[in-house]
Structure 1
Amino acid sequence: MTQQLILDLLPSSPASLANFVAGDNGAALEALRALRPGRAIYLWGAAGAGRSHLLQAVAAGDDALYFDRDGDPAALKEIATAETLRYRLIAVDDVQDLDEAGQAALFALYNRWREVAATGTGFALVLAGDRAPLAMPLREDLRTRLGWDLIFRLELLSDEDRAQALRKRAGERGLQLSSEVMGWILTHYARDMGRLSALVDALDRYSLEKHRAITLPLLKDLLASSQPTEESDNS
């Protein structure tokens, strides 16, 4: 088995505010928990800091929308200009990747958000990007709008934070991870806590299935068995 792991072998746990490991990002997490219609939050930080996790978490309800780089800008603009607003919260991820049409749609959405902020049809706006508002590769009038309300920089988790979160996740499942297993995961696996949590869950199931204790060989067996076979790749 190579040291370069395929990070999509295991599905992530559904994103929620409860399973987000805050580390130094407690202020951002509390602001999202307290978010109300009429307010806006812009989150920025490096890949793996949890931007998408947080946006997907706050937009999980039936009255919320999550929009990312794969979304249709025309659909977002239609929402922004509709006579009746369907959503109480709209989350727009990866703002730095918006093309001209996407930027125009987000500009219209911001204007609508401000127009109805103090009314009964107000909605919350949560956005995320990989850099601070004024450094975004966007049209000038949109860059300034990113700073209209709250802004938080998300910091990557320290190794200590990740280790504590892994131990907590394992403890919730009645597991004890040896220092060898913990060290290997923290060194060789994803930094994203969603994938780390999914790995712990998969280890638990796999150890029960194989009737074996959780050891480093078992972990490597799990990851090796999760890789697609040559036959399945050609099907």
Structure 2
Amino acid sequence: MIGAQLPLAVQLRESASFESYYPGPNAEAVQALQSLGVPVLLYGPPGSGRSHLLQAAARQHRAAYLPLAELAAHGPSLLEGLEAAPAVCIDDLERVTPDREWCIALLRLVDQLRARGAGYAFATDAPPERMTLALPDLRTRLGACSRFGLKPPSDDDRRELLRERAKARGLELPEEVTRWLLNHRSRDIPSLLEALERLDREALAAKRRLTLPFVQSVLVD
């Protein structure tokens, strides 16, 4: 039984897919997760997209996905049986690595997955050499992963993404609207895409173009 079936009950976000992620400077990380031919370690600050990518990998590979920010209180027994999963994706690793019992359980799981040749990926807030780890052996295992420090998209990346996604929806996105979105809305990629989807729905219903006054009337609460 896999952690009393708890990990399998974790719901992946509908929006978390490789298709909805703009790779920008992180294209190599995306490619590594899409194949998962070698172990992968993502690191970056909150909002860097590491959870989005890890959930996308879990969806594609039918992996057990464990967000430890939510599940760490269940203890390291949560990992029992995961060695039999098709693949394993563990998020928020920094939440448990200062604990010796968690480190022992993670070491055991990694060794079992490696012996089977099963894919696995971790996400955390810092590279292994800067993590607080109760066991040095775990640092060695994490250091053997293909490591990717996620870089935030630039404003040019965000503009290009909005233009591409608007064009795919048959929308004309004026530059002044793009500029307003970047200056007045949440700048993370999922929020920008959600705003564009909402604009698409409202423009279709009202049979309107995406003028700045119309966009402001839709998005300003």
- TM-score (normalised: structure 2): 0.81
Match of residue 60 from structure 1: 59
1:151 and 2:160 correspond: no
Q: How does 1:98-109 map to 2 (within 5 A)?
A: 98=96, 104-105=101-102, 107-109=104-106
1:183 and 2:179 correspond: yes
The gaps in structure 2 that reach 5 residues or longer are 1-12
1:130 and 2:125 correspond: yes
Write out per-residue CA displacement over residues 86-118 of structure 1, whole angstroms, 9 at most, x where no aligned residue: 4122111122233766x7335413322223423
User: How far does residue 168 in structure 1 lie from its aligned partner after superposition?
Assistant: 0.5
Counterpart among 111, 114, 118 of residue 114 in structure 1: 111
Match of residue 87 from structure 1: 85
SS at match of 1:24: helix
RMSD between aligned alpha carbons?
Answer: 2.5
SS at match of 1:125: strand
Which moves more between the two structures, 49-58 or 66-75?
66-75
Match of residue 42 from structure 1: 41
Identity %: 34
SS at match of 2:115: coil
Match of residue 210 from structure 2: 214
Write out per-residue CA displacement over residues 6-59 of structure 1, whole angstroms, 9 at most, x where no aligned residue: xxxxxx8611122221111111111112213xx311111233321111001011
Write out per-residue CA displacement over residues 107-137 of structure 1, whole angstroms, 9 at most, x where no aligned residue: 4133222234233xx4222111122111123
Q: 1:180 to 1:105 in 2, by over 3 A?
A: same
Separation in structure 2 between the aligned mates of residue 20 and residue 63 of structure 1, nearest angstrom:
18
SS at match of 1:139: coil
Q: Is 2:98–2:132's contact at 8 Å kept on the other side of the alignment? A: no
The gaps in structure 1 that reach 5 residues or longer are 1-11, 226-235
Separation in structure 2 between the aligned mates of residue 209 and residue 152 of structure 1, nearest angstrom:
42
Q: 1:172 to 1:223 in 2, by over 3 A?
A: same
Q: 1:13 to 1:192 in 2, by over 3 A?
A: farther
User: How far does residue 61 in structure 1 lie from its aligned partner after superposition?
Assistant: 5.1
Residue type matched to 1:104 in 2?
A: E
Q: Is 2:83–2:112's contact at 8 Å kept on the other side of the alignment? A: no
Separation in structure 2 between the aligned mates of residue 41 and residue 190 of structure 1, nearest angstrom:
29
More helix by share: 2
Instruction: Say how many residue pairs are matched.
Output: 207
Q: Is 2:83–2:113's contact at 8 Å kept on the other side of the alignment? A: no
SS at match of 1:157: coil
Structure number with greater CO (CA < 8 Å, separation at least 6) is 1
Q: Is 1:73–1:105's contact at 8 Å kept on the other side of the alignment? A: no
Separation in structure 2 between the aligned mates of residue 116 and residue 129 of structure 1, nearest angstrom:
19
Match of residue 156 from structure 2: 160
Q: 1:189 to 1:196 in 2, by over 3 A?
A: same
